[in-house]
Amino acid sequence: MTPDCNSAGPESRTHVPQTLAGDSVGIMSEPSRYLVRTDTGDVVVTVNVGVGGLDDGLLSLAKAPADAAAAFDMVTPLRAFGAKMVDIIEIAGTDSFGGSATLREMLVKEKATQELKRIEVFARQTDDD
């Protein structure tokens, strides 16, 4: 297992388990946190434990405080977070979906796109506050 380089500080580092090719169920024992940079501001993205990859509650979003970058090993641009989002969904598991592998793959990509848009909209809305 490799440490998650986007987690906050050494005390909250999490290990991201690897899934086998074709495995639709991941194991997440602790929430993972990422600092995602958008055009309008930074967002702290928390991957919730016990939520399936295709479920609505997979991510929790929070406005990043001004000094948030110091608490994270890395700040990830939103565009680069897209590839990580697919991994997050697959690690969280897609076992709630009973369709074909091709359709599952399409749903995972669509879910990743949906979550990226949600992060971007959240950043815009909190920037307006």
Condensed to tens digits (0 to 9), the pLDDT of residues 78-87 reads 999 998 999 9
Q: DSSP assignment, residue 96?
A: T
- CA–CA distance, 86 with 14 (Å, rounded to integer): 18
Q: Which helix (H) or strand (E) holds 41?
A: none
Residues 17-57: tens digit of each pLDDT:
333 333 444 556 688 999 999 999 999 999 999 899 999 99
Model confidence at 5, in pLDDT bands (50, 70, 90)?
very low
The number of domains in the chain is 1
Mean of per-residue pLDDT scores for the chain: 81
pTM of the model: 0.75
Pairwise pLDDT comparison (90 vs 9), residue with the higher score? 90
Q: Which domain holds residue 71?
A: 2-128
- CA–CA distance, 9 with 71 (Å, rounded to integer): 5
123 pLDDT exceeds 60? yes
